[in-house]
Structure 1
Amino acid sequence: MIRKRRMGMRSVPKVMVGVVAAAGIFAAGACGTPAATDRNVPQPPAKVRVGLLLAGPSHDGGFMEAGYNGAKRAEQQFGAEIAVVDRVAPKQPELERVLRELASGGVDLVVAQGGQNNAAAQVVAAEFPRTKFVVTQSDVTGPNLASYEVLQEQSAWLAGAAAGLLTESGVVGHMSGIRPVPGLKGRAAFVDGVAHTNPAARVLTNFSGDQDDVELARRVATAELDAGADQIFTMLNAGRPGVAEAIRAAGKGRQFGNVRDFVAEDPAVFAGSAVADSGVAVFRAIEDFANGRLHGGENVRIGLETPEAVRLTLAPDVPEHVRAEVEALRERIVNGEIEVSTTYSGPEFPNP
């Protein structure tokens, strides 16, 4: 059973949910790790005890929830025991403190969701050399530290390509909150995708400073719509509904989501969704550890070749010629014919 403990951010009181202190999360004692097995031969994973750190709410409708769902899938599929600490402030001292708490609480594997944990994980992994650590959406490694990365920049690039084909105004938007490396890569890839299909288009790109503030997201989206954007790519978490509010209020524009398939939920607002399910990274890390395939020093990358994890979905009203071109571009990325840019040095759109 997944046990969850919420660690309040500075503006949120601490709330305890069904978890004892970390030192008693699991009974002491090591859990045996089976020998390496062939991935093609199904093996029942050994039960493992996992600590999951989420630097945000576990039900944020975005990135953190995807990680939580990946852990829940591991629990349901092969009985992994999961202790979750969510709502951790994304500041290195807080991240280090919670990682230490989890590592000293009897877990076999500590998974930190998101590249904002890079520095903290390097510090704490060195302090607990007998415990395995994983950071998702990262490239940080160490003797007992691995990274599992869903290549969200690949589906973000396809979203940019589609937005470039769909824009009628010649202006598209991008919105995000904080600036972890995967978010910066996703922004750069989106801009690169737009330029590939519509070199004349202008991209308004904004990092507001908050992934979860609905009102702030609404204001930024309204400003981008007022500046001419008719397609907006949102790399937000709980703040994402503010963009839909702005689009409905303005009576114009469409949104591209990310992480999960928002088209299935609201095809009238979402023209597409750059699915990049980081929950697959969490699940794969736990599965690999249980089967003896997780090794320190590795960076496991999962891209468009695994559509379960990375793909672009499009709304039913997207024209067939756009679908066909996007599919051809997807195949070229998978085949290595297109290199997705992950750097951006252009202007940024200010908060209103």
Structure 2
Amino acid sequence: MHESKVTGAISRRAFLGSTVAVGALASLLPLKAHAQEPLKVAGIYTVPVEQQWVSRIHIAALAAQERGDIEYTYSENTANTDYPRVMREYAEGGYDLIVGEIFGVEAEAREVAAEYPEVAFLMGSSFKEDPAIANLAVFDNYIQDASYLSGIIAGALSESGNIGMVGGFPIPEVNRLMHAFMAGAREMNPDVTFQVSFIGSWFDPPKAKETAYAMIENGADLLYAERFGVSDAAKEKGILAIGNVIDTQADYPDTVAASALWHFEPTLDKAIAEVMAGTFTAADYGIYSFMKEGGCSLAPLGTFEGKIPQAALDLVAEREAAIKDGSFTVEINDEEPKSS
């Protein structure tokens, strides 16, 4: 998740109205089936591929290329103003599947997709699919299942019952993970309190760090590190942190006790199979980030093996099994979380 998600905030009604006309063309032609030669896949990213959210897409694409399913190329640091142009260049270049994130250029990107009905587009988006643009599917990192489990561990480890949470922006993609984490923490400590703050940036480690310092001064003994910089503050002050999307424990072996990981492979692999079969269509691929689909997990305990209370581990195991068999559902709450 990054800065492109908050630019171009538009109403759902205005957005949908702007795409109806351009979508009519894309709905007329089905995507063709492909032979078994590798698909040509392009990624378009507004940040470096090292950035945590985008890195998960990039890693999945490299894995698909390694096993011979795709030929993969990508453009990184693509400004929102350039995004439609880069989409067109790849579409004109004969690429079969274009993957990216259009949070800051929703309407413009969908107009481009409508111009190339034989090209499949799989795009991170805050909006749902539009049946009128049959060749564009959407996704996002719905990893609330893993976030909930990491919250159980956090609730067991926090001695003060005061947890600090630092996020980038209060948008659905962040809010749902924070709420799930908070729900997990309350499973272990119903009286736990939260300090919640958003720094107004997707990459400003110094600001995230300063915000975390303030929370520690205000009694927090554990931090939810939705942004880079938070774990640095936790390390320097000798408290614990919970990670998000990627596993940073190797960099913070005495600090990061748990992390909710996003695995993009199920999402991308489903799209590749559909394009290969000629059945790719407008759909919401968000479900492939769910734990039961293999789209998210709790990171290995690693250096915290033996340091997590057994009651928390038992509950994590119980809930994880229930999530996977469908008998327990983690609530998806996209509203902005507030401090206690």
Fold in common (TM above 0.5)? yes
Counterpart in the other structure of 1:166: 157
In structure 1, distance between residues paired with 2:95 and 2:84: 16
Secondary structure class of the residue paired with 1:297: coil
1:86 aligned onto 2:76:
yes
Cα distance, 1:138 vs structure 2: 5.5
1:190 aligned onto 2:176:
no
1:322 aligned onto 2:308:
no
Counterpart in the other structure of 2:111: 123
Secondary structure class of the residue paired with 1:311: strand
CA contact (8 A) 1:137 1:278 kept: no
Cα distance, 1:95 vs structure 2: 3.1
RMSD across aligned positions (CA): 2.7
In structure 1, distance between residues paired with 2:56 and 2:180: 21
Counterpart in the other structure of 2:25: none
Of 247, 253, 257, 2:234 maps to 247
Counterpart in the other structure of 1:133: 121
Of 328, 332, 336, 1:337 maps to 328
Counterpart in the other structure of 1:310: 296
CA contact (8 A) 2:143 2:296 kept: yes
Within 5 Å, give how 1:1-352 maps onto structure 2. 33-34=33-34, 45-60=36-51, 62-89=52-79, 91=80, 93-113=81-101, 115=103, 118-136=106-124, 140-142=128-130, 143-236=134-227, 240=228, 242-251=229-238, 253-263=239-249, 266-299=252-285, 301-302=287-288, 303-307=290-294, 309-313=295-299, 314=301, 315-316=304-305, 317-334=307-324, 335-347=326-338
Cα distance, 1:82 vs structure 2: 1.7
Counterparts in 2 of 1:118 and 1:156: CA distance versus 1, 3 Å: farther
CA contact (8 A) 2:141 2:173 kept: no
In structure 2, distance between residues paired with 1:77 and 1:116: 32
Counterpart in the other structure of 1:10: none
Bigger proportion of residues as helix? 2
TM-score, with length taken from structure 1: 0.76
2:264 aligned partner, one-letter code: S
Q: Deviations over 1:73-127 (max 9, x none)?
A: 11111152222111123x4x44333323332332111111475564443232222
Counterparts in 2 of 1:285 and 1:117: CA distance versus 1, 3 Å: farther
Q: Deviations over 1:182-238 (max 9, x none)?
A: 2222122222322343221111222212222221221122122222222222223xx
Q: Structure 1 residues 63-72 or 101-110, which shifts more?
A: 101-110
TM-score, with length taken from structure 2: 0.78
In structure 2, distance between residues paired with 1:117 and 1:153: 25
In structure 1, distance between residues paired with 2:332 and 2:177: 9
In structure 1, distance between residues paired with 2:99 and 2:287: 16
**What is the aligned length?**
301
Instruction: Mark the runs of 5 or more structure 1 residues left unpaired by the alignment.
Output: 1-30, 36-44
Instruction: Mark the runs of 5 or more structure 2 residues left unpaired by the alignment.
Output: 1-30
Counterparts in 2 of 1:177 and 1:300: CA distance versus 1, 3 Å: closer
